Amino acid sequence: MKRHSVFAVVREALRQNRGWPKHWESPAPRASYDTVIVGAGGHGLATAYYLGRNHGITDVAVIDKGWLGGGNTGRNTTIIRSNYLQDASAAIYEKSRALYETLSQELNFNLMFSPRGVMMLAQTEHERRGYLRTERANALQGVETRFIDAAEVRRLAPIINIDGPRYPVLGALWQPRGGTARHDAVAWGYARACSDMGMHVIQNCAVTGIRSEAGRVTGIATERGEIACRRLGLVVAGHSGVLAGMAGFRLPVESVALQALVSEPVKPCLDVVIMANTVHGYISQSDKGEMVIGGGADGYNNYTQRGSFHHIEETVRALIETFPMLSRLRMLRQWGGIVDMTGDRSPILSKTPLEGCFVNCGWGTGGFKAIPGSGWAMAELMARGSSPLAEGFSLNRFREGRFIDESVAAGVAH
């Protein structure tokens, strides 16, 4: 793998960039691998990377029915935070946030990680009390978070309207080391590192069946032939239920579209990430100047990766109350991503009823921030059979009533 550096950039500039190699290879699938990961998004690629980096397992294929990072990894609003209430959630999200801080250096690929800070607005007394509770829980969990008053909110975000027409801003839960990263770059960086370790990243190769014998996985069927494997990881977000059906079991998830949009670019005016649960919307400004705006999930199950006027109207109306300057901007583009939601709004990282088959799903509307921690935990689970980070997120919790309820505790569930 050719290392990126200022000297390499200058050298290639002088020879018309003819010396850059491919970031990753596109090999034909072999007949067998030790481990197959289905899903070449951030979570799947991170799982493969940490299998090699942490556990020395490099006979790995990462397979995707589309292009690398073409699912939810490329269809999100890039928020990174770890100020969740429940201990298990805070642990895995904080692990992820911490890994993000040095991931560009580790992968030798600029992920454009920006620890600009994330604030979650409290616009009702109920919300304020809830965030004060989370502040204290985070202190016990070792997560740097604090509740700030309305004056501090205004200082950090001068464009905000503190005295909203319906819901005034009473304060915010502030995580100064939260932030954003470039979503495509996360997938590209992991794919480049996996390919350098000799792993196969295979695109445009849909899985059509999962093979098993005597209750143990033996391989998969794809549009490009049969592939045998000893371990199988299903990391396909909103399509997890479909793959689980092929393996012969059901998952307690439902798939819905989550929508977002961006405005035309404007000069820098917002250097933090702001989330508002009461009016339901969240916003940040990209490096290109676009206002990145996220809204809600559809109220019905679907696999539609497009936006709708209903959510544009609802989300923009809510944010204009808090950020009046948005009323003068034009929308540049809108999109949807298929997210998989569990009943307690917490993920599933678990063994399955099919021996040798593991599943990573259920991240709902907050999957991007968890990519490094999720991959770390999933790799450990697949390599060793257990992981402290994944222990609370097993499938058994739904049978045993050990829910990790973040549906309300997390505030905006992103």
Indicate if 29 and 174 belong to the same structural domain.
no
What is the C-alpha separation between 292 and 282, in angstroms, rounded?
8
pLDDT band (50, 70, 90) for residue 411: very low
Residue after which a domain boundary falls, among 292, 315, 342: 342
Give the domain CATH number at 328: 3.30.9.10
Asked if the structure places residue 156 within a domain, the reply is yes
Three-class secondary structure of residue 331 per DSSP: strand
Between helix 183-196 and helix 87-107 the angle, nearest 10°, is 70
**Alpha carbon distance 274, 285 (integer Å):** 10
Q: What is the mean pLDDT of residues 376-405?
A: 95
Q: Residue 280 belongs to what domain range?
A: 115-178+255-342
In a domain, 292, yes or no: yes
The edge-to-edge listing of strands for the beta sheet with 118-122 is 146-149, 171-175, 118-122, 273-276, 281-285, 291-297, 253-263, 331-342
Question: Does residue 12 belong to any structural domain of this protein?
Answer: no
What CATH number should be reported for the domain holding residue 349?
3.50.50.60
Taking residues 312-330, report their average pLDDT. Answer: 87
Residue 125, sorted as left (phi over 0), alpha (psi -120 to 50) or beta, turns out to be: alpha
Residues 156 and 271 in one domain: yes
Statement to judge: residues 243 and 127 lie in one domain:
no
Residues 261 and 169 in one domain: yes
The span from the CA of 348 to the CA of 233, in Å, is: 12
The predicted-structure confidence for 340-367, as pLDDT tens digits, reads as follows 999 899 999 999 999 999 999 999 888 9
Residue 413 pLDDT > 50, yes or no?
Answer: no
Same domain, 269 and 153: yes
**pLDDT, position 408:** 57
Domain count, the chain: 2
In terms of domains, do 32 and 173 share one? no
Q: How far apart are CA 275 and CA 281, in angstroms?
A: 6
